[in-house]
Amino acid sequence: MSPCVLATRLLIFSAFCGLVIADQIIHDPIKDFCRRHQHQTCVIDSKVYVDGGLVYYGTGVNLDSQPETNDRLVYGDLASISEGAPALYGNLSKGSNVPSVSGGVLWPDQVNKLFYLFGGEYNNASVNSFSDGLWYYDTISNTWSQSPFDGSQTKISWPAFGGSAVTEEGIAWYYGGYLNNKTVPNWAGAPLMLNSLVSYDMTKRTWTNNTEGIARAEGTLQYITAGSRGMLIYFGGRETLANGNVSYIQIYDIANSRWYTQTATAGIDDDIPRKRRGFCANTVWAKDHSSYNIYMYGGIASDETALGDIYILSLPSFTWIPYPYSQQKQWSGGKAWASCALVKNSQMIVTSGFYTNSTKTGCDVATIGGQHTLFPGQESIEQGTVYHALAADVVKYRVPGIVTAVIGGEWVSEKITDGKATLKSPTSGWATSALAVGFGTTYAGLARTATRSLPASSSTPTTSGLSASTVPSSKSSSNVGAIAGGAVGGAVFLIAIIALALYLRSRRKLAKPITNTAHNSTAQDNRFSTAGEKHFSMSKGSTMYSPHPQGSPRPPSELHGYGTGQQHHSPGSEWIQPLPFAHEYETQQTYYPPPRDPLHSPSSPHSNSAELPIANTPGPSELSAVRSPQPTRGNV
- What one-character-per-residue DSSP string does 601-630 give? --SSTTSSEEEPPP---SSPPEEE--PPP-
Question: What percent of the chain stands above pLDDT 70?
Answer: 66
Asked whether residue 131 carries a pLDDT value surpassing 90, the answer given is no
Task: Measure the CA angle with vertex 297, ends 295 and 299; round to 5°.
Answer: 140
What is the gyration radius of the CA atoms in the chain, in angstroms?
A: 27
When comparing pLDDT for 154 and 527, which is higher?
154
DSSP for 565-583, written as a single string:
--B---SS-TTTSPPP-GG
Banded model confidence at residue 9, pLDDT cuts 50, 70, 90: low
- Alpha-carbon distance of 85 to 77, in angstroms, equals 9
Reduce the DSSP state of residue 167 to 3 states and report it.
Answer: coil
Q: In the prediction, which pLDDT does 571 show?
A: 28
Residue 558, helix vs strand vs coil? helix
pLDDT at 191 over 80: yes
Which secondary-structure segment (H or E) carries 5? helix 3-23
Local structure of 11: helix, strand or coil: helix
Nearest to 369, CA basis, from 385, 356, 353, 358: 353
Instruction: Please choose, from the candidates 414, 400, 408, the residue with its C-alpha nearest in 3D space to the C-alpha of residue 324.
Output: 400
Q: Say if CB 123 and CB 588 are below 8 A apart.
A: no
Mean pLDDT of all residues in 605-609: 37
Cβ neighbors of 129 (< 8 A, separation 6 or more) are 185
pLDDT for the residue numbered 414? 58
Name the nearest CA neighbour of 205 among 458, 452, 459.
452
Provide mean pLDDT across the span 115-136.
92
Contacts of 587 by beta carbon, 8 Å cutoff, 6+ apart:
none
Helical spans, DSSP H, in 384-534: 401-407, 433-439, 480-510
Q: How many CB atoms lie within 10 A of CB 523?
A: 11
Q: What's the confidence (pLDDT) of residue 13?
A: 54
Given a cut of 60, whether residue 179 has pLDDT beyond it is yes
Give the pLDDT band of residue 104 (cuts 50, 70, 90). Answer: very high
User: Tell me, what's the pLDDT at 332?
Assistant: 78
Q: Where are the alpha helices (DSSP H) in 240-339?
A: none
DSSP state of 491: H
- According to the model, what pLDDT value does residue 143 have? 98
Q: In this structure, are residues 62 and 362 in contact, taking their beta carbons and an 8 Å threshold?
A: no
DSSP, collapsed to helix, strand or coil, labels residue 420 as coil
- Residue type (1 letter), 280: C
Count of beta carbons in the 10 Å neighbourhood of residue 528: 22
pLDDT of residue 333: 84
Distance CA 36, CA 27 (A): 14
- Confirm if 79 and 46 have CB atoms less than 8 A apart: yes
Over the stretch 584-594, which tens digit does the pLDDT of each residue have? Answer: 322 222 222 33
Determine what percent of the chain is predicted with pLDDT higher than 90.
57
pLDDT of residue 280: 98
pTM of the complete model: 0.75
Task: Note the pLDDT of residue 278.
Answer: 97
Cis peptide before 273 (omega within 30 of 0): no
The three-state secondary structure class of 46 is coil
How far is residue 446 from each of residues 166, 168, 170, 449, measured CA to CA in Å?
A: 13, 7, 9, 10
Identity of the highest mean pLDDT range in 325-334, 373-382, 554-563: 373-382
Report which secondary-structure segment, H or E, holds 261. Answer: strand 258-263
CB contact at 8 A, 455 and 140: yes
pLDDT grade for 145, boundaries at 50, 70 and 90: very high
Rounded Cα distance, 175 and 77, in Å: 30
- pLDDT single digits (tens) 412-457: 655 666 789 999 999 999 999 999 999 999 999 888 999 999 998 7
Residue 266: which residues within 8 A CB-CB, separation 6 or more? Answer: 272, 319, 320
pLDDT by residue (tens digit) across 559-569?
222 222 333 33
**What is the CATH architecture of 33-428+472-476+537-624?**
6 Propeller (2.120)
Mean pLDDT of all residues in 460-467:
52
Three-state DSSP at 497 gives helix
- List the beta bridge partners of residue 355: 335
- pLDDT tens for each residue of 18-67: 544 444 568 999 999 999 999 999 999 999 999 999 999 999 999 899 99
State the average pLDDT for the chain: 76
CA distance 541 to 183: 44
Q: Which of 195-199, 221-225, 512-516 has the lowest mean pLDDT?
A: 512-516
What average pLDDT does the segment 606-622 reach? 38
Kindly state the average pLDDT of the residues 291-304. Answer: 96
pLDDT digits (tens, 9 = 90+) for 256-279: 999 999 999 999 988 999 999 999
Domain segments of the chain: what residues? 33-428+472-476+537-624
Segment 328-332 mean pLDDT: 72
Q: Is the dihedral of CA 44, 324, 339, 174 positive or negative?
A: positive
Q: Is the dihedral of CA 399, 404, 409, 411 positive or negative?
A: positive
Give CA separation, 452 vs 117, 171, 201, 206, in Å. Answer: 19, 17, 16, 17
